[in-house]
Amino acid sequence: MIVDDSLTIRAMLEHIISRDPECQVVGIAADIDDARSLMRTSHPNVITLDLTMPGLGGLHFLRELKGHPHPPIIVLSSSAKDGSVEVEEAMASGAAACFDKGKLLSAGPLFVSTLKKTRDRMI
């Protein structure tokens, strides 16, 4: 399941993920409210979550889910650099992995590999 407020990023993620025959996008949400509904109906194995969105952001959503059963979440952010405060907060709030949005085009296969490894740890 993809959760991102950017139409461009949602389309890019759907394209990158769908190119792998072992992966399927089961839902796409533009905001946290849509994500909550989709989680109940689509039962995703993994969620990709934009950390910075209008309204309730990704970090708030991560904290909301912490302590409740939910699929693993890969956080996407344009500032997701190893050791950054944002990454540390996301990981402490329950993210399974973080990935730099700026590297999606150049490192699509690495992103899909991260997604599959995250999914496989939970199955």
CATH number assigned to the domain comprising residue 91: 3.40.50.2300
Of residues 122 and 92, which shows the higher confidence score? 92
- Quote the number of domains for the chain: 1
Task: Report d(CA 36, CA 16) in Å as an integer.
Answer: 23
Q: Quote the domain boundaries for residue 30.
A: 2-122
User: Which residues, 6+ apart, have CB-to-CB distance to 92 below 8 Å?
Assistant: none
Task: Report d(CA 49, CA 101) in Å as an integer.
Answer: 11
**Cross-strand bridge partners of residue 75:** 49, 98
Task: Report d(CA 111, CA 73) in Å as an integer.
Answer: 13
pLDDT at 70: 87
Cβ atoms of 17 and 47 within 8 Å: the answer is no
**Average pLDDT of the residues of the chain:** 90
38-62 pLDDT per residue, tens: 999 999 999 999 998 888 889 999 9
User: Which residues, 6+ apart, have CB-to-CB distance to 83 below 8 Å?
Assistant: none
pTM over 0.85: yes
